[in-house]
Amino acid sequence: MVAQAIFYLLALLTVGSSAVVAFSRNIVHSTFALLGAFMGVVGIYVLLAADFVAMVQLLVYVGGILVLTIFAVMLTQGIADVTISNRAVARAPALVISAVAAAVMIFAVFKTPWHQGAKVMVGPTTYGIGNAFLDTYALPFELASIVLLAALIGAVVISRPIDRRAQEQ
């Protein structure tokens, strides 16, 4: 019962923060609300006993991407004063589509014959994932790192300024 109440609180935190991100007119408020959305997802992963995924979510999204976004917003002068000019475009179709999607989801929740699953003994997942990366999936893991390195080198080459004197010769 306590776990269910915690789940609903985390779901409310995630959905509420996501709504603030989507509907806020201030980008600073949206950025800080994104922290609540990410942390709610981390909490849900912890409740699902997915400790590795929860820590990756925490380190990559909260620790990396969100902090980078906050720095970018804070270092950009005058970004808090920017107002969005096309907020009213297609508001009616968006509300209709959202209402239809919500009705379908509510119908599915109440009409589905839910079955209680058997109790499963939950164990740590990090050990198995680490062993799989170093044993069974070592080659795909290394290939993915080579592809990411090539993408990083390509991004550096593309973002370099063009030297006009070298093109003329």
pLDDT attached to residue 95? 87
pLDDT tens digits, one per residue of 113-147: 988 888 877 777 788 888 888 888 999 989 988 99
pLDDT attached to residue 7? 93
**Domain-wise residue ranges, the chain:** 1-83, 125-159
Residue 120 · residue 65 · CB < 8 Å: no
Placement of tokens 């969100």 in the chain = 66
Give residue 111's identity as a one-letter amino acid code: K
pLDDT tens digits, one per residue of 23-43: 887 888 888 899 999 999 999
Nearest-angstrom CA–CA distance, 116 and 10:
22
Q: What is the pTM of this model?
A: 0.62
Q: Among 17, 43, 45, 41, which residue's Cα sits nearest to residue 31?
A: 17
**CATH topology classification for 1-83:** Four Helix Bundle (Hemerythrin (Met), subunit A) (1.20.120)
3-state secondary structure of 60: helix
Ranking 1-10, 60-69, 121-130 by mean pLDDT, the lowest is: 121-130
Residue 39 · residue 16 · CB < 8 Å: no
For 41, other C-beta atoms within 10 Å of its C-beta total 22
